Structure 1
Amino acid sequence: MLVRRAYIPDSKRPESFGRWPYTVPCVAELAERGLVFTAPVTMLVGENGSGKSTLVEAIAEGFKLDSHGGRAGRKYVNDRPRTPLGDVLALETTPAGSRMITGPRSRRKGFFLRAETAFGMMNAVSGLHGYWADDTSTMSHGEGFLAVFEAMFRERGFYVMDEPEAALSFESCLKLVGLMHELARTGAQVVCATHSPVLAATPGADIVEVGEHGIRRVKWEDLGLVDHWRRYLTDPALYLRHITG
């Protein structure tokens, strides 16, 4: 592993938690206690607005990845300011992680895939040296995502993803699970924010559920989203009757 903990140093903690992003429960808990990483793959799971994207963006910035998305040591949008949380967040790294962050840019290995900006980033860097040879503009969104994963998620490094399932089919999600599992075996580290019960089931992943409760670790079978998907697939009418009247 490369990162042991994400936290806000005492000198940078806010005097008041009455403003965003500290009004988000998981961010407030991070500010109070920090977030410890216990496994090579960490899944941050939560509803829209739960704060999981805010966390992963800041964690990416803590490892000197561009919060707009892209590979370590490079910036996709040079004038993008740091996020409010990323501006104060610190990472406690392992010796290997410390060497990677503090060394020359060429030594940094990792990638941040942010679903909201991925397509623009892919079109901007496709074919450039150090990225991928395939022309992702001629592919479907899902095929493009997989091309990026297969080209960029190879070396031992720090990989952050924000809702990568946005463009992926069920089978493509399974391919990403296999890739994350293999990365973990090489000494790489993955932090992924997701709504997908498929991705959350990655073997050996530490699952962190965020929401109004703040931050808590749960087993896959105890996730709220797993329960909802299980019941919906068993009997969609249980849910749809409330939607369609």
Structure 2
Amino acid sequence: MDSNYISSVKLTKPLPEGSYLNNLQAVRHLIHQGGLAFEKPVTFLVGENGTGKSTLLEGIAAAYGFNPEGGTRNFTFSTRATHSELYQYLTIARRAHAKDGFFLRAECFYNLASNIDDLGVEDSYGGRSLHAQSHGESFLALIENRFGGNGVYLLDEPEAALSPNRLMTLLARIHDLVQRHSQFLIATHSPILMAYPGAEVLELTADGIRAVNYQETEHYQLTRRFLENPERMFHYLLEENND
């Protein structure tokens, strides 16, 4: 893939004074650094809860034209307008036109599946209602049947419904779609997903956003320490809580 469909994002005007968005690390980076570039076909946004990675991804999705609750640019359903106003202040640089695209939000997936049933378009998602499958099965059914390539796909914490084995299935599917000229922006806490070869991992911290090797992330290091010696980690956690 010679160029990404979404090559960068920046704020075009100041956010309202007093907006909570100004306190998010992701937004502060856009304010002070002038924007954020995406260099690879697969980009992961990682960081602690509250750093703004999902808010940033949601803002990019809405600014691109996706329904804030998920779906394609043709989806217009709204169950509750909980998305932030960030998208109104963002400008996206596009180097190419994507033929396909989808915004997947784990927290709104039930609403998305209901809207697909209401529209009667199950055939595009595997021919079976997403509600008639387990949470993880329905996630993969959507990604395997609806994502067609030559597209831009924004995924917000897709690991929420997937077992480690299914996460590896997702990695293989991402790779297949990248070979078909696709771009992924993914907000995640999963060290398994972050391991995708050649991906750009952007870590959100109090100091801003920086590109890191996934093995440098706290997610990877903490998970590795826990799996190598869970007894020691439990001892440390219980001891800390008793202090």
The letter of the residue matching 2:25 is P
Identity rate, percent = 34
Answer whether contact 1:72 1:109 (CA < 8 A) is retained.
Answer: no
Answer whether contact 1:29 1:215 (CA < 8 A) is retained.
Answer: yes
- For residues 159 and 8 of structure 1, the distance between their equivalents in structure 2, rounded to whole angstroms, comes to 21
1:39 aligned counterpart, secondary structure = coil
1:48 and 2:41 equivalent?
Answer: no
| 1:161-194 CA-partner distances (Å, limit 9, x unpaired) | 1100000000110111111122222211110000
- For residues 199 and 24 of structure 1, the distance between their equivalents in structure 2, rounded to whole angstroms, comes to 24
Q: CA RMSD in A?
A: 1.9
Alignment of 1:52-63 (within 5 A): 52-63=53-64
| 1:129-179 CA-partner distances (Å, limit 9, x unpaired) | 374121222211111111111112222111101100000000110111111
The letter of the residue matching 2:71 is G
TM-score w.r.t. structure 2 length? 0.89
> 2:110 corresponds to which residue?
119
Alignment of 1:80-91 (within 5 A): 80=81, 83-91=84-92
Relative to its length, the structure with more helix (as a share) is: 2
2:22 aligned counterpart, secondary structure = coil
- Deviation of residue 244 (structure 1)? 3.4
Answer whether contact 2:194 2:201 (CA < 8 A) is retained.
Answer: yes
Structure 1 unaligned residues grouped into runs of 5+: 101-107
> 1:181 corresponds to which residue?
175
> 1:218 corresponds to which residue?
212
The letter of the residue matching 2:129 is D
> 1:105 corresponds to which residue?
none
Alpha carbons of 1:141 and 1:150: their partners in 2 closer, same or farther (altered >3 Å)?
same
- For residues 225 and 2 of structure 1, the distance between their equivalents in structure 2, rounded to whole angstroms, comes to 28
Q: Tell me the number of residue pairs that the alignment of Structure 1 and Structure 2 aligns.
A: 232
1:231 and 2:225 equivalent?
Answer: yes
1:169 and 2:163 equivalent?
Answer: yes
TM-score w.r.t. structure 1 length? 0.88
Pick which of 117-126 and 59-68 moved more. Answer: 117-126
- Deviation of residue 73 (structure 1)? 2.3
Answer whether contact 1:51 1:211 (CA < 8 A) is retained.
Answer: no
- For residues 81 and 169 of structure 1, the distance between their equivalents in structure 2, rounded to whole angstroms, comes to 28
| 1:21-71 CA-partner distances (Å, limit 9, x unpaired) | 111122111133211000111000111111110110011112100111112
The letter of the residue matching 1:159 is Y
- For residues 209 and 64 of structure 1, the distance between their equivalents in structure 2, rounded to whole angstroms, comes to 25
Pick which of 175-184 and 141-150 moved more. Answer: 175-184
Structure 1 residue ranges (4+ consecutive) displaced by more than 6 angstroms after TM superposition: none
Alpha carbons of 1:76 and 1:131: their partners in 2 closer, same or farther (altered >3 Å)?
farther
> 2:142 corresponds to which residue?
148
Structure 2 unaligned residues grouped into runs of 5+: none
- For residues 131 and 94 of structure 2, the distance between their equivalents in structure 1, rounded to whole angstroms, comes to 37
> 2:29 corresponds to which residue?
29
Answer whether contact 1:3 1:37 (CA < 8 A) is retained.
Answer: yes
| 1:205-224 CA-partner distances (Å, limit 9, x unpaired) | 11101121210100111111
Pick which of 177-186 and 160-169 moved more. Answer: 177-186
- For residues 167 and 15 of structure 1, the distance between their equivalents in structure 2, rounded to whole angstroms, comes to 36
2:87 aligned counterpart, secondary structure = coil
Answer whether contact 1:125 1:131 (CA < 8 A) is retained.
Answer: no
